[in-house]
Amino acid sequence: MPARLAASFSVSKNDMKSFIRDFHSEMARGLAGRSSSLKMIPTYVDRPTGKEKGTFLALDLGGTNFRILMLKLDGRGGAKVIKAEKFVLDKKVITGPGKAFFDFIASCIGSFLGSNTGGHLDMGFTFSFAVEQTGVASGTLSHWTKGFSAAGVLGKDVVMLLYEAMLRKGIRNVSIKALANDTVGTLVSRAYADPACDMGVILGTGTNACYSEYLSNVPKWRGTDTPGGRMIINTEWGNFNKVKRTYYDKAVDRISDNRGQQIMEKMVSGMYLGEIVRLVCGALISDNRLFGGRRTPVFFEAQGFRSEYVSRIERDRTRDLSDVGSMLKELGVTGSTVPDRILVLEVCRLVSLRASRISAAAIAAVITRMDGALSRRHTVAMDGSVYEKHPNFAGHIRTALNELFGIKARRIKISLTKDGSGKGAAIIASVAASSNI
């Protein structure tokens, strides 16, 4: 491993401390409504008390597979899924007219409800796209992501579009009480049973985080107060740009479809980790340091090397890295030597370790924004494939937090909260239904 390459991806303890200072500054600017890479969007909803009770619907829309759930909250922190169904949006729907897009979703709601059209139901709507929230149950789409391009939706209130579609389908017994993204849903889902949960994080294909903030610390807020004086803030931290980038990060940004945006996301999320590894390995091949200089398409075509390969490579515990060799052969790389495999493994470790330490610094920044002295317990609700499936990511985050906070790091608990966005949407609906925001 070339020393200069290793040094360029290194994130020291001092680097993390500098990151935290810059992150705090951007948070403050965003909360004040000033120019910032962190949008710090008020979500119009607070954490649940755990006493919310009743039956609620949840629509969890974050990709081509979406879910509808019916949950029963027992008022004691327990949430039981009464019914859940998964639906698939095909390419024609997600790239066609917006009216047809929402009509399809409404028809799925109708199918889910079946004959249950009499009793009134409140629903939470998790919509995991770029939305400028304008109320607890309203928000306008600023841009599509994830291959979606339904026409006529940009700049429109997505809740109103869904309401109109439900009316066209004859669904009149459902009220959309809350709009949220998946990060907020994840926080709320965990917080319903764990009062110490005050932060939600997604580390998957993309990345984002939200946390609980005192409204007195949000100068740009012009609405009414919440009963507890707090509100969940959606940081949109994937766009944080005060972070040291390598040549390879800049190359990833140049060939992306959102150049100059989502800078931190392009360094830590599953959409980009494999691409960084691909570019580094491609450079090593071009310098005759890897595979004897033999070029293979997987390392020279955009998106040729997927992030799941990084996890698979780092799981290999064989002496000669035979699993890595087998995978490389599947990808068209024949005749790899043990030194070749070691170097590929080292590149993967370098990229994923940096990603985990940046993620840890971001978590630390948000926690210390809430509690600078770490004087109380904090639970971080975590979801996402990178955190869950990469063999070392969670451990590296814990190690970095220990470096930053020593024994006090024990006060930060990270809890994997799988599929929390769906349950969270229903719980948010219950919170919003009893709120005056």
> What's the pLDDT score for residue 12?
97
d(CA 205, CA 273): 10
- Among candidates 244, 211, 247, 216, which has minimal Cα distance to 229? 216
> What's the pLDDT score for residue 150?
94
Q: Per-domain residue ranges for the chain?
A: 45-193+419-428
CB-based contact 37:240 (threshold 8 Å)? yes
Q: Is 182 a residue of the active site?
A: yes
> What's the pLDDT score for residue 242?
96
d(CA 67, CA 422): 7
Instruction: Please give the CATH number for the structural domain made up of 45-193+419-428.
Output: 3.30.420.40
At residue 269, does pLDDT exceed 60? Answer: yes
CB-based contact 233:41 (threshold 8 Å)? yes
- Given the residues 182, 198, 249, 383, select the one marked as catalytic: 182
Amino acid at 242: K
> What's the pLDDT score for residue 421?
83
d(CA 422, CA 375): 31
Model confidence pLDDT, tens digit, residues 213-230 = 999 999 999 888 877 899
Residue corresponding to tokens 């020593």: 406
> What's the pLDDT score for residue 147?
76
Q: How far is CA 157 from CA 98, 262, 351, 422, in A?
A: 12, 23, 39, 21
d(CA 56, CA 126): 13
Which residues make beta-bridge pairs with 175?
122
Average pLDDT value for residue range 349-364: 98
> What's the pLDDT score for residue 145?
78
Determine what percent of the chain is predicted with pLDDT higher than 90.
Answer: 79
Tokens at residue 196, please?
Answer: 């110490």
Contact partners, residue 103, CB within 8 Å, separation at least 6: 165, 168, 169
Q: Cα–chain-centroid distance for residue 409?
A: 23
- Given the residues 17, 146, 244, 413, select the one marked as catalytic: 146
CB-based contact 205:271 (threshold 8 Å)? yes
- Among candidates 71, 156, 50, 150, which has minimal Cα distance to 104? 150
> What's the pLDDT score for residue 437?
52
Tokens at residue 168, please?
Answer: 């066209």
> What's the pLDDT score for residue 116?
62
Of the pLDDT bands very low, low, confident and very high (cuts 50, 70, 90), residue 146 is confident
Of the pLDDT bands very low, low, confident and very high (cuts 50, 70, 90), residue 393 is very high
- For 162, counting Cβ atoms within 10 Å of its Cβ (0-12 exposed, 13-18 middle, 19+ buried), the class is buried
Average pLDDT value for residue range 306-321: 95
Q: Is 169 a residue of the active site?
A: no
**How many Å is the maximal CA-CA distance in the chain?**
70
Burial 21-57 (b: 16+ CB within 10 A, else e): ebbeebbbebbeeeebbbbbbbbbbbbbbbebebebb
Average pLDDT value for residue range 132-159: 90
d(CA 210, CA 183): 6
Tell me phi and psi for residue 416, to 5 degrees.
-65, 125
d(CA 58, CA 429): 8
At residue 268, does pLDDT exceed 80? Answer: yes
Length of the chain: 437
| Cβ-based neighbour number of residue 265 at 10 Å | 22
Of the pLDDT bands very low, low, confident and very high (cuts 50, 70, 90), residue 309 is very high
Can you list the alpha helix ranges (DSSP code H) found in 336-412? 338-370, 385-389, 393-405
* Pairing of the two strands 138-143 and 130-135: antiparallel
d(CA 338, CA 316): 13
Of the pLDDT bands very low, low, confident and very high (cuts 50, 70, 90), residue 385 is very high
Burial 288-323 (b: 16+ CB within 10 A, else e): ebbbeeeebebbeeeebbbbebbbbbbebeeeebee
Strand 230-234's sheet: what is its strand order?
41-42, 230-234, 207-214, 197-203, 378-383, 412-416
CB-based contact 188:426 (threshold 8 Å)? no
Q: How far is CA 141 from CA 19, 134, 151, 292, in A?
A: 30, 11, 11, 49
Average pLDDT value for residue range 56-63: 90
CB-based contact 432:425 (threshold 8 Å)? no
One-letter-per-residue 3-state SS of 288-334 = CCCHHHCCCHHHCCCCCCCHHHHHHHHHCCCCCCHHHHHHHHHCCCC
Model confidence pLDDT, tens digit, residues 170-204 = 999 999 999 998 999 999 999 999 999 999 999 99
